[in-house]
Structure 1
Amino acid sequence: MSLESVRAFFAQKAPEIRIIEKTTSTATVAQAAEAHGVEPGRIAKTLSLRVGDRSFLLVTRGDVRLDNRKIKAAFGGKASMLDAEQVQALTGHPVGGVCPFGLATPLRVYCDISLKVFDEVVPAAGATHTAVRIDPQHMADLVGADWVDVCQQPAETPATASGE
């Protein structure tokens, strides 16, 4: 279902966006950055989290870590990662291919403001070898995401960033 649900999502909501399929795995940030020829920060990783009894997705830059204090302030408690089985059941996507598109279950989606420095990011597209290239604001608009500030600052801002 995963890749097909993402294909259907884009066919309906953004037919101009093309899914990129690679022959090698892009399941990790490092693999994806190498395969797509971008710095790790441009890889938009999608984390499947739970706070209390609420599960949601958080899309962040590939080169940042969550800030636990900011998470507690934004979501009202300590966040825990869902396990691979829970991720697959809720999103319909395998770990390494999780994205906010074509979800099996309606989930709240948040995007970390760290993505806004880029004019284009590369999130997965429902499989461990697929992705799309998309403007972060367009991605957030397509999935109805809210912007949050829940990550630590990256070590340095890349020279290729758009400067926003």
Structure 2
Amino acid sequence: MFWLVIGFFICQRLIEMFVAKRNEKKVKAIGAIEFGANHYPYMVGMHAAFFLFLIGETWLLNREPSRFFLLLLVFLLATQVVRYWALCSLGTYWNTKILVVPNAMIVKKGPYRWLKHPNYVVVAIELILIPLLFEAYITAILFTCLNGWMMMVRIQTEEKALNQYLLN
């Protein structure tokens, strides 16, 4: 079960990187400007390290699936609905990088009607719930803290870029 769940999320991340690269080419062709390039490699590294730590903690400490596994998995899968709703709402503008097309309109449809950064909320939930599926508490705590720090940097950078270059 562990490898099925982890494999799903690793494949999801790899597919998202492919989609992000494709979207990056499209929006750069219409004048997108990149922000936060200096912190981007750290974010990618953090996400890669998350899976390595999760695998390591689960394997080295012989972690078992949680007795709440099914409940946590159902909630985790529900967050994926929000993830894809957010990604589809942004369409070509969705990316793992901060790419802003000057004078474009801020997207205010889908979950963006209620939350400014719904995908970041999903990622925060994932970084807690995926490890909790397998009682990997060290990974859950460590990467929740690292992600909190990363989101402070990233959201501040993103908001500054959006406010400077987009139309409300």
In the superposition, the TM-score normalised over structure 1's length comes to: 0.28
Larger radius of gyration: 2
